[in-house]
Amino acid sequence: MTTSIHAFIDALPKVELHVHLVGSASVPTVLELSRRHPDSPVPTGEEELRAFYRFTDFPHFATVYESVSSLVRTPEDVATLVLGTARDLAAQNARYVELTVTPYTHQRAGMPMPAITQALNLAAREARERHGIQVAYIFDIPGEFGPEGCRRTAEHAVEHPPEALIGFGLGGIEQMRDGIRDEIREAFGRARAAGLHSLPHGGEMSGPATIWEVVEALGAERIGHGISCLDDPRLVAHLRETQIPLEVCPTSNVCTGQVPDLASHPLPRMLEEGLYVTLNSDDPPMFDTTLTGEYRVAADVFGFDREGLAGLARNTVKASFMDETGKKAVLKEIDALV
């Protein structure tokens, strides 16, 4: 039975909505970069790197993530990461990905905005040609970097946008945001005025208040994680009524200490409450998972059958900003498989 459901998952057409560019870098890619830049704190050996990826809590994860980010120093490095993610997702039967990029970290490494944009454009085209997967981009503000990070991320998104830029997000350590500051509101206002979708994180490592903040202050059209919503019945009722999609990443939440183990994860209850749940991988190599692996968790740990798994896949397609023709094609593939 397990073999049968795993074969179904392997064949299931998929869409990924919540995966970060740096966090998606495979172990071989990170090792290549760390050996290229030996002044970095990132290990140059595979076993040491895997140990480096054993996180004690979210601040520890954020420190490791920043260390890996420091390896990305040229536009070529950026393009390499995009193409590696596209290759890995295509091998899992993914058709489309909305890839979160934090351009301010690359700007701080000395890359000009136009050079970053050119690398992203070239990589998206090559991903389609080489791997048959469509790449869209979300630019996110690293919430802990203050006004300069907000201003320069919005400037990049509005004045030097990649061709495939569809959204504007907010990430980082939620407790360091100090609420939705004026500079965050202004950055989102500028991005939304330029036609970008509001796709911030909320309720990953903090309570329901951060979810209310991104809904009420930033007009969130989807919410990254949102798992603490269950602590607030009024918020659950609001999310049920509005059907704002939640980008849920179970293995990530365990690895960063937000939930004690997979069996305790709130995803099944979120669905029982009538919430709009999508399934995603977040930073897969760092968490020793894949998008396919998250569907296996849904089957093996949460007990989802084929229709339940297909339902998650359909939710993720419908919550994406793929064009309607593309959505219909992937949904048709899912229905045919079921």
Q: How confident is the model at residue 143 (pLDDT cuts 50, 70, 90)?
A: confident
What pTM does this model have? Answer: 0.94
Model confidence at 165: pLDDT above 70:
yes
pLDDT tens readout for residues 288-320:
899 999 999 999 999 999 999 999 999 999 999
Q: How far is CA 310 from CA 15, 56, 132, 316, 331, in A?
A: 12, 33, 21, 10, 9
Does position 285 have pLDDT exceeding 90, yes or no?
no
Number of domains in the chain: 1
Which of the following is catalytic: 16, 204, 213, 294? 204
90: domain CATH number is: 3.20.20.140
Q: What is the pLDDT of residue 2?
A: 66
Asked about 204 being catalytic, the answer comes back as yes
Q: Tell me how far apart the alpha carbons of residues 47 and 30 are, in angstroms, rounded to a whole number.
A: 13
| 3 state SS for the chain | CHHHHHHHHHHCCEEEEEEECHHHCCHHHHHHHHHHCCCCCCCCCHHHHHHHCCCCCHHHHHHHHHHHHCCCCCHHHHHHHHHHHHHHHHCCCEEEEEEEECHHHHHHCCCCHHHHHHHHHHHHHHHHHHHCCEEEEEEEEEHHHHHHHHHHHHHHHHHCCCCCEEEEEEECCHHHCCCCCHHHHHHHHHHHHCCCEECCEECCCCCHHHHHHHHHHHCCCCEEECHHHHHCHHHHHHHHHHCCCEEECHHHHHHCCCCCCHHHCCHHHHHHCCCCEEECCECHHHHCCCHHHHHHHHHHCCCCCHHHHHHHHHHHHHHCCCCHHHHHHHHHHHHHHC
- Answer yes or no: is pLDDT of 197 > 80: yes
Q: What is the pLDDT of residues 87-127, one digit of tens each?
A: 999 999 999 999 999 999 999 989 999 999 999 999 999 99
Domain of residue 274, residue span: 2-337
